[in-house]
């Protein structure tokens, strides 16, 4: 993969005369800088000249690779829901579960909200993602003018942050380690099929570059502007769905028809409100038990930190560290980081803007991994149902913790990283030109 910065583009990728006449303009979603790109070739990646953020990546044979991998992933998923996922035996009692058993058991215990979250994250959203990308790739391979390509592409943009099949697989491994000391575990055919599905799914996600996707669907050209500079200062903005640079006074994007905000908002009230809500939900998530284990006449209540300590006492140090990082360190650090970034948007310090941007990108990346503990609870609930001998149900903290994960993810999405660059002085701006 060839990597280049826009500021060094001419040295590493010579521009042909016809490319010089009509450069492709691309506004950076992180710093609002207008970048001028010549025609890119497969195997190349463009970086913003101002902040170094990845603008777009060009993959070779993109529709064919997407189509084959997506179809294979869909087949693996169908196999994963048809065969048993995990087998569990204790005290002479054996039980095996399928993927959908998690949802049905949670509903039978009246955890409707948690079952809906599991259904969305593990079934509806991943399958709709695959079907949408397959639909678009078919049009690319066959050349058929299929309808609703734009609708499918817009759905891909919406659903991408909520795809957590890889997080669930880690949750399965954690659950197996927790059960290993108390029962015999058998891995069904669905477990290996699901592993294959996750691998293929992650590869497909890595190949989906939204800007390349939209330029392939519709080659609508960006509006004219100076080669460099801040987009908002030239009356330009960027469509949040397809990345097309448009005039700020436009009501809808000419390529994807998405609504265009009239100007960059400096109001952080939505982000702050979501952070306050996540903090309030994080208190009961740590105070109340996340899982209740009923064994004969004894009931054991396990909080998040209690589960970490139990795993540590059992000698499962790597798993204890994973749960501690995902369920305690990541949510706390993400809330603190977003609060600090909101403060920096109003009262900027001398701290490097690039460091602030990297911190924001890190909070977006790690946020979804906090869902591991919720998946572990859902899996153990469906697997350990041995009547009066032993059974596990989610505790009152399970839904609270899931709400914390969702709220912090939405808070990170609502934060505009371009606000961090708004305090750059004209003297500092000149170094980017």
Q: What is the pLDDT of residues 89-120, one digit of tens each?
A: 666 666 777 888 888 888 887 788 888 989 99
**Residue 30 resides in a domain:** yes
pLDDT at 14 over 50: no
Average pLDDT over all residues of the chain: 80
253 vs 187: CA distance, rounded Å:
49
Residues 412 and 366 in one domain: yes
Distance of CA 214 to the CA centre of its chain: 19
Residues 112 and 175 in one domain: yes
Q: What is the pLDDT of residue 23?
A: 55
Residues 95 and 120 in one domain: yes
Share of the chain above pLDDT 90, in %: 20
Q: What are phi and psi of 336, to 5 degrees?
A: -65, -40
Tell me the C-alpha to C-alpha distance, in Å, between residue 417 and each of 32, 143, 338, 364, 420: 9, 38, 11, 11, 6
433 vs 429: CA distance, rounded Å:
7
Residues 32 and 148 in one domain: no
pLDDT at 139 over 50: yes
Closest CA to 419 of 336, 348, 319: 348
Residues 290 and 383 in one domain: yes
Q: What is the pLDDT of residue 165?
A: 93
- Top-ranked range on mean pLDDT: pick from 189-193, 307-311, 384-388: 189-193
- Top-ranked range on mean pLDDT: pick from 252-256, 257-261, 275-279: 275-279
Which carries the bigger pLDDT value, residue 356 or residue 248? 356
Residue 38: pLDDT band with limits 50, 70, 90:
confident
Q: Are 177 and 315 in contact (CB under 8 A)?
A: no
Domain that holds residue 344: 267-417
Closest CA to 236 of 196, 263, 197: 263
Average pLDDT rounded to a whole number, residues 291-311 = 76
112 vs 75: CA distance, rounded Å:
29
**Residue 422 resides in a domain:** no
Residues 273 and 413 in one domain: yes
Tell me the C-alpha to C-alpha distance, in Å, between residue 331 and each of 340, 386, 412: 14, 33, 12
**Residue 17 resides in a domain:** yes
Q: What is the pLDDT of residue 221?
A: 63
Residues 356 and 376 in one domain: yes
pLDDT at 372 over 60: yes
Residues 353 and 382 in one domain: yes
In this structure, how many other beta carbons lie within 10 angstroms of the beta carbon of residue 433? 12
Which carries the bigger pLDDT value, residue 272 or residue 51? 272
pLDDT at 273 over 50: yes
Q: Are 134 and 71 in contact (CB under 8 A)?
A: yes
- Listed range (33-37, 140-144, 415-419) with the worst mean pLDDT: 140-144
Q: Helix 372-383 and helix 112-119: axis angle, to 10°?
A: 110
Q: What is the pLDDT of residues 258-269, one digit of tens each?
A: 777 655 556 688
Tell me the C-alpha to C-alpha distance, in Å, between residue 372 and each of 173, 198, 322, 350: 10, 15, 9, 36
**Residue 214 resides in a domain:** no
Q: What is the pLDDT of residues 152-177, one digit of tens each?
A: 888 998 899 999 999 999 988 888 87
Residues 189 and 227 in one domain: no
pLDDT at 250 over 50: yes
Residues 73 and 50 in one domain: no
Tell me the C-alpha to C-alpha distance, in Å, between residue 200 and each of 81, 173, 186, 197, 375: 16, 18, 24, 5, 21
Select from 231, 255, 279 the last residue of a domain.
255
Residues 315 and 228 in one domain: no
Show Cβ contacts of residue 192 under 8 Å, excluding neighbours closer than 6 positions.
none
Residues 195 and 73 in one domain: yes
**Residue 71 resides in a domain:** yes
**Residue 16 resides in a domain:** yes
Q: 3-state class of 106 per DSSP?
A: helix
Average pLDDT rounded to a whole number, residues 288-305 = 76
Average pLDDT rounded to a whole number, residues 203-232 = 76
Closest CA to 335 of 303, 367, 361, 313: 367
Tell me the C-alpha to C-alpha distance, in Å, between residue 207 and each of 48, 109, 137, 210, 316: 20, 40, 12, 9, 35
Q: What is the pLDDT of residues 16-37, one digit of tens each?
A: 333 333 457 788 888 888 887 7
**Residue 316 resides in a domain:** yes
Task: Report how many domains make up the chain.
Answer: 3
Q: What is the pLDDT of residue 60?
A: 80
Q: Are 417 and 357 in contact (CB under 8 A)?
A: yes
**Residue 426 resides in a domain:** no
Which carries the bigger pLDDT value, residue 268 or residue 299? 268
Strand pairing class (86-90; 93-97): antiparallel
């Amino acid at each position: 993969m060839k990597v280049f910065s826009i500021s060094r583009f001419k040295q590493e990728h010579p521009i042909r005369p016809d490319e010089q006449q009509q450069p492709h303009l691309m506004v950076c979603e992180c710093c609002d800088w207008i970048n001028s790109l010549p025609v890119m070739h497969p195997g190349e990646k463009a970086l913003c000249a101002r902040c170094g953020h990845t603008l777009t990546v060009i993959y070779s044979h993109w529709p064919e690779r997407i189509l084959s991998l997506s179809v294979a992933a869909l087949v693996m998923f169908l196999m994963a829901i048809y065969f048993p996922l995990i087998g569990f035996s204790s005290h002479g009692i054996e039980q095996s579960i399928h993927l959908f058993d998690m949802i049905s058991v949670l509903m039978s215990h009246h955890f409707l909200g948690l079952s809906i979250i599991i259904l969305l994250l593990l079934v509806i959203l991943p399958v709709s993602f695959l079907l949408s990308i397959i639909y678009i790739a078919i049009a690319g391979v066959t050349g058929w003018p299929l309808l609703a390509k734009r609708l499918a592409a817009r759905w891909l943009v919406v659903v991408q942050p909520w795809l957590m099949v890889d997080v669930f697989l880690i949750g399965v491994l954690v659950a197996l380690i927790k059960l290993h000391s108390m029962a015999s575990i058998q891995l069904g055919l669905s477990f290996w099929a699901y592993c294959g599905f996750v691998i293929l799914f992650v590869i497909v996600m890595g190949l989906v570059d939204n800007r390349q996707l939209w330029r392939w669907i519709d080659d609508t050209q960006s509006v004219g502007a100076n080669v460099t500079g801040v987009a908002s200062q030239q009356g330009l903005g960027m469509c949040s769905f397809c990345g097309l640079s448009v005039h700020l006074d436009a009501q809808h994007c000419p390529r994807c028809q998405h609504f265009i905000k009239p100007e960059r908002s400096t109001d952080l009230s939505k982000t702050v409100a979501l952070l306050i809500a996540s903090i309030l939900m994080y208190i009961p998530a740590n105070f109340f038990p996340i899982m209740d284990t009923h064994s004969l006449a004894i009931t054991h209540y396990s909080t998040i930190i209690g589960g970490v300590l139990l795993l540590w006492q059992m000698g499962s140090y790597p798993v204890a560290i994973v749960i501690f990082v995902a369920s305690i360190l990541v949510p706390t650090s993400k809330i603190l980081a977003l609060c600090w970034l909101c403060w920096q948007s109003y009262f900027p310090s001398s701290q490097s803007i690039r460091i602030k941007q990297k911190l924001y990108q890190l909070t977006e990346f790690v946020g979804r991994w906090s869902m591991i503990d919720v998946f572990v609870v859902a899996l153990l609930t469906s697997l350990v149902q041995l009547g009066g001998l032993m059974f596990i149900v989610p505790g009152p903290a399970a839904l609270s913790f899931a709400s914390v994960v969702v709220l912090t993810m939405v808070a990170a999405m609502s934060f505009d990283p371009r606000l961090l660059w708004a305090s750059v002085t004209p003297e500092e701006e000149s170094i980017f030109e």
